[in-house]
Amino acid sequence: MTDYSDLLFTMAAILIFSLFLLQANQAMVRNDVVTVDNEYEKTAISVAQSVIDEARNKVFDQTLLDGEAPSTLPDGFRLELGPTEGLTRSDFEVFDHYHGYSETVETQLGDYVVDVNVSYVSDTAPFTEVTGPTFRKKMEVRVRQADANGRAQLNYIKTYF
């Protein structure tokens, strides 16, 4: 062996193999990051959906809970949204009691902050908020995780009919 060609070929093969191994490792790390981010996002969506599922079975308006339907619809519906003083989530009986509701939910992936906004929306354009009572209310649930990328925003439209 008078030349070093075999040694150079071996070093080149090791270098090429190292580059291939580095690229494969980076791909696996990227896949793991995406998988973890998806888990955080799925959990955020699950938390938001649980609030919506709970609220959708509630009475549309406080006036309906107090007695029969108001004489003028939809003007007879309560204009002020949100719970009366001192109510907790377990006491909510009306869909719009969730307006302004905020809570920190503990999960296996950490704490998630839940913020809920309820508003009247147009009967003809259900994602357009209006100032007066209508036959439709929109619930917007925002969930975010403070330490990671887990966040979700879900909307639900509830109608009087």
The distance in angstroms from the start CA to the end CA of the chain is 92
How much is the pLDDT for 1? 52
Q: How many residues does the chain have?
A: 161
Going from the C-alpha of 123 to that of each of 13, 42, 82, 146, the distances in angstroms are: 69, 31, 21, 36
The answer to whether the predicted template modeling score (pTM) of the entire model surpasses 0.95 is: no
User: Which of 16-25, 61-70, 88-97 has the lowest average pLDDT?
Assistant: 61-70
| CA gap 103, 48 in Å, rounded | 11
Total tally of structural domains belonging to the chain: 1
The range of the structural domain enclosing residue 114 comes to 5-159
User: Which of 84-88, 89-93, 129-133 has the lowest average pLDDT?
Assistant: 84-88
Q: Using the predicted structure, report yes or no on whether residue 67 has a pLDDT greater than 60.
A: yes
Q: Using the predicted structure, report yes or no on whether residue 15 has a pLDDT greater than 80.
A: yes
| CA gap 92, 67 in Å, rounded | 17
How much is the pLDDT for 85? 84
Read off the pLDDT band of 79 (50, 70, 90). Answer: confident
- Residue 143 pairs in a beta bridge with 114, 152
Read off the pLDDT band of 22 (50, 70, 90). Answer: very high
**Angular region, 76: left φ>0, alpha ψ -120 to 50, beta rest:** alpha
Q: Using the predicted structure, report yes or no on whether residue 147 has a pLDDT greater than 80.
A: no
Instruction: Tell me what the mean pLDDT of segment 100-122 comes to.
Output: 93
Instruction: Tell me what the mean pLDDT of segment 43-68 comes to.
Output: 91
Read off the pLDDT band of 142 (50, 70, 90). Answer: very high
User: Which of 25-29, 85-89, 110-114 has the lowest average pLDDT?
Assistant: 85-89
Going from the C-alpha of 72 to that of each of 75, 134, 151, the distances in angstroms are: 6, 11, 40
